[in-house]
Each structure stands twice: as C-alpha cells, then as structure tokens.
C-alpha cells in the first residue's frame, strides 16, 4: 500500500489496483489551431503542465501501473455530437469543421491525437469519448473493473470541464479519486482553483488532491 499526505487527508492506494487517467491531452486543446483556440482561449496555459504530466507518466509506467488516455472525439458523421453541443457558443470553428489540424474534435484527425510528449504506449487504454465525462458512452467502467481497478489518479485538461466531470462520474461509480493539481489546467485559472477546492471540500466529497512531487516521492 502506498500513502500520500493528500488534501484533505491521507490517500492510500495499491498501484496494482490504481489507474492513471489522463484526460484529453490532445492537440485540439493544447496546441495552437485547435478547438481550444477557436473558442478564444490561450493554449499556452495548458502547455505549461506538460513537463509535470510527462514526469508522472514515466514514473507510473516504471511502477507498472495501468494508464488510460482519453480524447474528446466524435465520429466523422457527427452522429454522437448532439446539435446542442455543436451549436453552443460562437467559436470561429465548430466541432466537425476543418481547421489547421483537420476536422475539429473528430476521431482520426491530426488535431485529435494525444500530444507527442504524452503519446500512448503499447498496452495502454486509449478511449474516445463523445462527452465531457470519460464514463459517458464509453466502456471505461467495464475496462477498469476487468483490471481490478478501485482507485484513479487524474491529470489532464480542462480542470473544470472534462477532468471534473470524469472525476465526478468516477466517484459516483465507487472509485477513490485523486487529482494531481499541477498536472491539470484550465484556460481560466480561477475556474481551476475553484474546481480543485470544490472536489476536495466536505471531506473529499469528490476526491483528494496532491502534487506530482508527492506522487513521485511516494513511488520511489
């Protein structure tokens, strides 16, 4: 059993029963020319967490833990992108439109790939999810159950959208979840701060938080 002095209290986990879940670290959100930028966001904020995510991913692989990568991705015919989602807001490019990195948030397009720094390795789970949450319309719960997973470590983007939604879905399914604070980011720093606070409030009502340095020390 490994222990981290997390917030709001100790987080105990067994690497063999824990998965590292990396949410949507895809070019569409992190690189210029993707969906994030079409919505008017500064993607450099998200790029800043890449080195910390790389360090955690390397250590987790070294420890032999299960890795799950997600991508927010829709089918080319957009049958799993409801009009309510596609028509929301006033982006310069909508989901399915052709941008500098191919069709926005469409599976298989260059912009939909995980950034090269965090590229999935053989044997890791790579999941396309049409919603914000990683459990909605995906086989993730069944895959985790098949691997005997009870605990989840979260990183990725954006904190208050896909990361928070996925962590809440996981919490409702009975997983003990920990968010690595310096391995998640938002285009809105104040939203990240609020999301981190609300998830660990009320005695870890959604889950725990800790830093990547704490995890790396625990895995040594």
Q: Is 24 a catalytic residue?
A: yes
Q: Which is nearer to ligand C5J, 132 or 192 (CB)?
A: 132
Alpha-carbon dihedral sign for residues 47, 52, 56, 57: positive
Tell me the DSSP string of the chain. -EEE--BSS-EEE-GGGEEEEEE--BHHHHSTTSHHHHTT--THHHHTTHHHHHHHHHHHHHHT-EEEEEEE-B-TT-TTS-HHHHTSS--SS-TTSEETTEETTBTTSGGGSBPGGGPPPTT-EEEEESSSSSSTTSSHHHHHHHTT--EEEEEEE-IIIIIHHHHHHHHHTT-EEEEEEEEEE-SSHHHHHHHHHHHHHHHHSS-EEE-HHHHHHHH-
> Which of 28, 53, 81, 129 is flagged as catalytic?
129
Size, binding site for ligand C5J by CB under 6 A = 8
Least distance CB 199 / ligand C5J (angstroms): 15
Q: Is 85 a catalytic residue?
A: no
Q: Binding to ligand C5J (CB under 6 A): which residues in 77-116?
A: none
Provide the terminal-to-terminal Cα distance of the chain, rounded to the nearest Å: 13
> Which of 28, 53, 132, 162 is flagged as catalytic?
162
Q: Which is nearer to ligand C5J, 15 or 199 (CB)?
A: 199
Q: Binding to ligand C5J (CB under 6 A): which residues in 12-51?
A: 24, 29
Q: Which is nearer to ligand C5J, 192 or 200 (CB)?
A: 192
Question: Rounded to whole angstroms, how far apart are CA atoms 59 and 2?
Answer: 14
Least distance CB 77 / ligand C5J (angstroms): 20
Under rule CB under 6 A, residue 179 binds ligand C5J: no
Q: Is 177 a catalytic residue?
A: no
Under rule CB under 6 A, residue 162 binds ligand C5J: yes
Least distance CB 149 / ligand C5J (angstroms): 21
Q: Binding to ligand C5J (CB under 6 A): which residues in 140-159?
A: 157-158
Q: Which is nearer to ligand C5J, 182 or 185 (CB)?
A: 185
What does the binding site for ligand C5J look like in residue numbers (CB under 6 A)?
Answer: 24, 29, 72, 132, 157-158, 161-162
Active-site positions read 24, 129, 162
């Amino acid at each position: 059993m490994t222990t981290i002095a997390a917030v709001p209290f100790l987080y105990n986990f067994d690497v063999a029963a824990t998965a590292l879940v990396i949410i949507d670290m895809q070019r569409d959100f992190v690189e210029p020319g993707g969906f994030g930028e079409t919505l008017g966001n500064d993607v450099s904020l998200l790029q800043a967490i890449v080195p910390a995510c790389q360090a955690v991913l390397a250590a987790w692989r070294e420890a032999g833990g299960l890795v799950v990568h997600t991508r927010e991705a829709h089918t080319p015919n957009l049958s799993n992108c409801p009009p309510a989602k596609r028509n929301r807001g006033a982006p310069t490019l909508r989901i399915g439109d052709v941008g500098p990195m191919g069709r926005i948030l469409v599976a298989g397009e260059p912009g939909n790939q995980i950034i090269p720094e965090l590229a999935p390795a053989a044997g890791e789970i790579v999941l396309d999810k049409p919603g914000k949450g990683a459990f909605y319309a995906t086989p993730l719960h069944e895959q985790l159950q098949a691997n005997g997973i009870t605990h989840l470590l979260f990183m990725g983007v954006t904190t208050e959208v896909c990361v928070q939604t996925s962590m809440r879905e996981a919490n409702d399914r009975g997983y003990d979840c920990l968010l690595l604070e310096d391995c998640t980011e938002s285009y809105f720093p104040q939203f990240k701060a609020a999301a981190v606070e609300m998830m660990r409030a009320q005695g870890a009502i959604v889950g725990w938080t800790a830093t990547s340095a704490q995890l790396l020390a625990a895995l040594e």
